[in-house]
Chain A
């Protein structure tokens, strides 16, 4: 048989797309070489956050967070969706000015934020170090446990008629079909490549690089933290330069554990935990949460963010290969933006009205003959 759409990769992005297309009535088959949500999705913090680094990121993340809020009542309890909000923390007056500008930018996308004075900050988060300049509180942001959310989306896809096959690896993408590692072939009108950092294994020329991150989780019974806490310097760390960076980013887990992030580096392609980076990560977190000094670390792990040269995901047709669509390169925001990605891709594929401007994410910007692709 010929499927309407084959989706390669069962991370949060592939699962969201499978769900969306199956709901639209397409005959969908999702192929995952390992387990659902086992790669970047499993490593992730699952912070559902509106980022405003550029207008494209702002519209995709604001739209996606709203979609998560719509889905929230249906998510299983094990997906641990919670509206913790985000508290962006300013260390000095200059960062406080940045908080005010950020508030304006978020407001332009209809996202409310409130500026927080040092006194309010101490009330909201008593565990924070004294002497901070204040911050910006975004109450609509949330957190979710990504691998369970991904598997749940896949189950919804199956309920809508999709096939979801785990342990099936795609070896190559042909013309109107995919070649499986076991030698089999599956035909499809559309092939959607959503295999995260592994895209270049299947499609040469797609500029996705791995950007490694370390996370660490503490044991239970920590000092109470109420919001996801992120330093305002985070965006600088996230997007600035190719070097190694560490930013304070802490998430309270429903169990009472604290999840500490995060580091970013391009030069290390091994999955091992580097003690040097853990040391930087913990030291940074302690500057903001001094009580961490007396806490206990349960586990540390690493993951890879699929990164593009301009830090924007690739969502849309891949001009070099007719019938092939990309949904990848979501870097450090793919859990959040998976839902917006699915809607945007579905709208393009099904010729529906677009939920927001698709051009900033068009893979054509990196196609080998980009000029031609645009013209055509």
Chain B
């Protein structure tokens, strides 16, 4: 097993992690940036390493390219062998990293909620389908319904259209009044992506309906149609694909593994992005959903603070306050409606890994009770998907994940480490 040493380890190379690593180096520290994807960019700048598409990504990708930050890709954090000793696993084996301070910037994932038919082939996560499309999956000419909640639906619909899909409808579950209030805020907020996407869709004539959601998906082997609730009406729509997502939830597994304090499903940090555990910082959507601007600002703050440069400039503080207002608006205006809690039938699958139905889980007392009695969340994903659904459906707290965070070869435990760069060891 290889072993590396660094002063600051940054886990996650999305906007927050890139900003953290670059800022830490600028403040005079040595940083190592590790991500499980094959290149940096995270969710929003996926595939932009060689061709940035906007000013922000161009600026930060160039900064990372020029910075002496050491980067490793294709490595997933799976465990901590000791405090300050991270264990990663990848196709070429495992890597251990010893560090003095840690910045975790592992972003968020999409929330999926169960409704009859949601596991049919042809039903995708909205962000997931967007990723597939960015990676070249063919959607040209396909009839796609985009449904769920949040600005990500617009981004997904916009990408789908750009790839030649026929977007039949964007169904947003939030009420029109809430959306109007959110849109009114955009003018004063740095949510350009959302605005641009909405504009493009409007110009393309894609219908956008509020108070609208998918009640069920139908098809035999493959999705054929969806039944939508639009206001007081029910409507069937034939389609080839459904892209559905109900907002984002922070990735908190690493925080749980490290024993950091959480609140409302996100990591609690102070002014300096410092968590409740000494030497461990969090930045970006792991601390709460707030979009790319917030991720960048928090990354910058965390990187500087981890490097020992704790003073925040006036500009940074103002930018942070602004991005926080945007995050609060997101939260308020896209609150999920109660009807979504009652779409699933007793036999609708809730945990796909272990094939556990909604009805079996519903009678349990907690995520842990359900894990023990029904195996819900016991599979490969350790409840990352169904845990977020249960938090909304039943109000359950996330169960504590068990190491390793992802399946790893048993040899990962037995191999004895060899120093990869002994010249750096003290």
Contact stretch, chosen from B124-132, B242-250, B313-321, B409-417: B409-417
Q: Which residues between 388 and 426 of chain B lie within 8 Å of chain A, taking CB atoms?
A: 402-404, 407-414
Instruction: Find the B residue at minimum CB distance from A275.
Output: B81
On chain A, the residues within 8 Å of B374 by CB distance are 78
A248 shortest CB reach to chain B, Å: 14
B347 contacts partner chain A, Cβ-Cβ < 8 Å: no
CB–CB A298/B380 < 8 A? yes
- Shortest CB distance B351–A (Å): 14
Q: Mark A28-45, 1 if CB is under 8 A from B, else 0.
A: 000000111110001000
Residues on A with C-beta less than 8 A from B79 are 273, 275
Contact between A275 and B380 (Cβ–Cβ < 8 Å)?
Answer: no
Query: Which B residue's beta carbon lies closest to that of A295?
Result: B410
Q: Whose C-beta in chain A lies nearest to the C-beta of B400? A: A271
Min distance, Cβ B277 to any Cβ of chain A, angstroms: 13
- Tell me whether A108 is interfacial, beta carbon within 8 Å: no
Chain A 122-151 interface residues, beta-carbon cutoff 8 Å to B: 147-148, 151
**A36, A37, A273, A282: which contacts B414 (Cβ < 8 A)?**
A282
Please indicate the chain A residues that have their CB under 8 angstroms from the CB of B409 in the complex.
294-297
Q: Which residues of A contact B87 (CB under 8 A)?
A: 275
- A306 CA to B296 CA, complexed, in Å: 50
A166 CB → nearest B CB, Å: 6
By the criterion CB–CB under 8 Å, are A167 and B365 in contact?
yes
Among A34, A37, A38, A275, max chain B CB count under 10 A is at A275
Q: Assess whether A27 is interfacial by the CB under 8 Å rule.
A: no
Contact A296 B365 (CB under 8 A): no
Once bound together, how far apart are the Cα atoms of A295 and B414, in whole Å? Answer: 12
Whether, in the assembled complex, A218 has its beta carbon less than 8 Å from a beta carbon of chain B, the answer is yes
Q: How far is the CB of B399 from chain A (nearest CB, A)?
A: 11
Q: Measured between C-beta atoms, what is the minimum distance from B381 to chain A in Å?
A: 11
> Is A148 touching B402 in the complex (CB atoms < 8 A)?
no
**A282→B402 contact, CB < 8 A:** no
Contact status A151-B413, CB under 8 Å? no
A168, chain B: closest CB distance, angstroms: 12
Determine if A301 is an interface residue (Cβ-Cβ < 8 Å). yes
Task: State A34–B409 Cα separation when bound (angstroms).
Answer: 34
* Residues of A close to B402: CB separation below 8 A: 273, 299-301
Most buried by A among B82, B87, B411, B413: B413
Dominant SS at the B interface? mixed
Whether a CB of chain B sits under 8 angstroms from the CB of A286 is: yes
**With A299-B403, A299-B404, A300-B404: A292-B372 Cβ-Cβ less than 8 Å:** no
A212 vs chain B, min Cβ distance (A):
15
Contact A148 B410 (CB under 8 A): no
Q: Are A296 and B373 in contact (CB under 8 A)?
A: no
Per the bound structure, the CA–CA distance linking A292 and B409 in Å amounts to 9
Closest B residue to A35 by beta carbon equals B369
Give bound CA distance, A279 to B408, whole Å.
13
Q: Is A92 an interface residue, CB under 8 A from the partner?
A: no
Q: Which residue on A lies nearest to B411, using beta carbons?
A: A293
Chain B residues within an 8 Å CB radius of A298: 380, 404, 407
Taking a contact as CB atoms under 8 Å apart, the answer to whether A148 and B372 are in contact is yes
List the A residue with the shortest CB-CB distance to B82.
A275
Q: Known contacts A38-B368, A297-B409: does B82 contact A147 (CB below 8 Å)?
A: no
Least CB distance, A69 to chain B, in whole angstroms: 24
Is A297's CB under 8 angstroms from B413's CB? yes
Contact (Cβ within 8 A) A299 B410:
no
Q: A297 touching B373 by the CB < 8 A rule?
A: no
Residues of chain A at the chain B interface (Cβ within 8 Å): 34-38, 42, 78, 147-148, 151, 166-167, 218-219, 273, 275, 278-279, 282-283, 286, 292-301
Spell out B's residues near A (CB within 8 Å): 79, 81-82, 87, 365-366, 368-369, 372-374, 380, 382, 402-404, 407-414
Q: Known pairs A283-B414, A295-B410, A300-B404; list 10 more (Cβ under 8 Å).
A: A36-B372, A36-B373, A37-B372, A38-B372, A42-B372, A148-B372, A151-B373, A273-B79, A293-B414, A298-B404
Closest CB pairs A-B (n = 9): A147-B372, A35-B369, A275-B81, A299-B402, A296-B407, A282-B413, A278-B413, A301-B402, A295-B410
